[in-house]
Amino acid sequence: MKIIITGATGMVGEGILLECLQLPKVTEILSVSRKPCGISHPKLKEYLVADFLSIDLNDEKLKGYDACFFCAGISSVGVSEDEYRRITYDTTLHFAKACNPNPKMSFIYVSGGGTDSSEKGRMAWARIKGKTENDLMKLPFKQAFGYRIGFMIASPGQKRVLKYYNYFSWLIPIIKAVTPNMISTMREVALSMIYAAQNGYPKNVIEVKDIKVMAGKTRY
């Protein structure tokens, strides 16, 4: 598989990138981000773009891939609704269209728990993410998915770990015992993405329990 990954300078994107680099099934990865990811590997190429909205919709560098794992994003904390919509919705949809949507390519958007598919709820961020998921699924990809990941266990060697992770990592065994469908490893997420991109899945909105099911089916 040839894969595009965005957001490799963030925790989720870096974790997915590190895991995919280890999978023999993945032969080539294009990391698209604003800054270098700091990782060197024979499979990895980087495409640095200051503003995703500036990418040409016919960009040749984004063509010929089997899947895009869109892991870029920001928190809504301290950001205006208009700015959050521009970064979360406008940027994601523009990038997806630049990937040349076609029946041979899958698009996976890392969303989050609480995303509002109805687009009618009280929380602006949830409505915007819901609209992003819904409109991605209207594009002519093989299949588009909204990944509503929960708490994630970082991969070995990760450097870009969110601050909260260092404070709450000791709770991981407890969370796994009490609510196993709230937590997954980066490896499980990466394996499930590979499975979804290759085989499809009955659902477009993916929860942690779906991630575990697909990860268990993936041969690498």
* CA-to-CA separations, 117 to 148, 153, 169, in angstroms, rounded: 11, 26, 30
Calculate what percentage of the chain has a pLDDT beyond 90: 80
- Banded pLDDT at 158 (limits 50, 70, 90): confident
For the stretch 166-214, pLDDT in tens is 666 656 666 666 666 777 899 999 999 999 999 999 999 999 999 999 9
- Asked if the model's pLDDT at residue 95 lies above 80, the reply is yes
Angle between helices 186-199 and 11-21 (to 10 degrees): 70
Sorted by where each starts, the structural domains of the chain and their CATH numbers stand as: 2-217 (3.40.50.720)
Average pLDDT of the chain, as a whole number = 92
d(CA 152, CA 166): 12
Q: What share of the chain is helix, strand, coil (3-state, %, to 5)?
A: 40, 15, 40
Contact (CB, 8 A) for 30 and 4: yes
What pTM does this model have? Answer: 0.92
Position 150 scores a pLDDT of: 80
Cα torsion for 85, 77, 147, 23, to the nearest 10°? Answer: 110
- Asked if the model's pLDDT at residue 118 lies above 80, the reply is yes
Average pLDDT, stretch 137-145?
A: 98
